[in-house]
Amino acid sequence: MEIFDKQLPSCDICLGSSDSQYIKYNLIVSGVILPIIGLIGIIGNFLVMAVYGSIEQRRHSTNIYLAALALSDFCMIWTAIILYGLEAWRHHGPAVLATVYGRSAEIVFPISTILQTTSVYFCVAAAADFFVRIVLSAKIKDKICTPRFARLSVLSIAIISFLYNVPHFFELTAIDCIDEIRNNTLSVQVCPTELRNNATYYQLYYTYMYTIFMAVGPLLLIVILNVLVVRAVLKNGTSGQ
């Protein structure tokens, strides 16, 4: 073990916070509350997939988007439990938890960001599909609101989401380290790469691109689409009277 001490860094090298109060708080929130809420979400999304993913329901384009959204959320919850729940317990549970987290985080993290992106844009796609059904002409609706178009849209969103999140695969790295808390045993820590620590990259990718493509942009699209739908419904209701 003395050889390890000379060759390997301490596992505290990339530890976000060593404050005992924060670690306890993180354990309660991320290690206990998050998995409980996540389990409820997993069950709920599984039921949604079972309903909207059935052969009969897949005949409607909107249901395809909702089934895809449920699948994306279902998988994303699992990644959140690994990234945050397991991360919280690795400081308190057996040493194997730290190893499992350390070896899996650099892969699970980019997968989670891909799933976040697909969930956002499956929601946008469902709103757009509903907008076309209510607002646009029957000719356009017959071309766009079809199962085939919906499946192509889901596939396109998945591919674009993967490409958009490729940089995340190069943001984290797992390093072997010495866990001083566990009597200087060999463990694994997750550290940011030079790319992740690059100020220009962070500002461009996380500040500007995230704001445009993951936060404000999708939200604005959904709001606009829903406003137009409500406006069309009210207009049609007035015309009917």
For 51-90, the DSSP string reads: HHTSTTGGGSHHHHHHHHHHHHHHHHHHHHIIIIIHHHHT
Residues contacting residue 24 through CB under 8 Å, at least 6 positions apart: none
Task: Check residue 7 and give its pLDDT.
Answer: 80
Rounded to the nearest 10°, the torsion over CA 160, 230, 70, 154 is: -30
Task: Check residue 6 and give its pLDDT.
Answer: 55
Largest Cα–Cα separation, the chain = 86
Ramachandran region of residue 32, left (φ > 0), alpha (ψ -120 to 50) or beta?
Answer: alpha
Task: Check residue 210 and give its pLDDT.
Answer: 95
Task: Check residue 75 and give its pLDDT.
Answer: 98
Q: What is the CATH number of domain 2-197?
A: 1.20.1070.10
Amino acid 168 reads: H
Q: How far apart are CA 201 and CA 210, in angstroms?
A: 12
Q: What is the DSSP letter of 186?
A: E
Hey, what are 230's tokens? 């409500």
Place of tokens 């069950």: 43
Q: What predicted TM-score, i.e. pTM, was given to this entire model?
A: 0.89
Place of tokens 């709920």: 44
Task: Check residue 17 and give its pLDDT.
Answer: 62
Instruction: Confirm if 107 and 120 have CB atoms less than 8 A apart.
Output: no
Rounded to the nearest 10°, the torsion over CA 233, 235, 237, 241 is: -170
Instruction: Please report, for the chain, the start and end positions of each structural domain, with discontinuous segments joined by +.
Output: 2-197
pLDDT along the chain (241 residues), means of 10: 62 72 86 96 97 92 97 98 89 83 94 98 97 94 95 98 98 89 82 95 96 96 96 77 49
Q: How far apart are CA 213 and CA 113, in angstroms?
A: 13
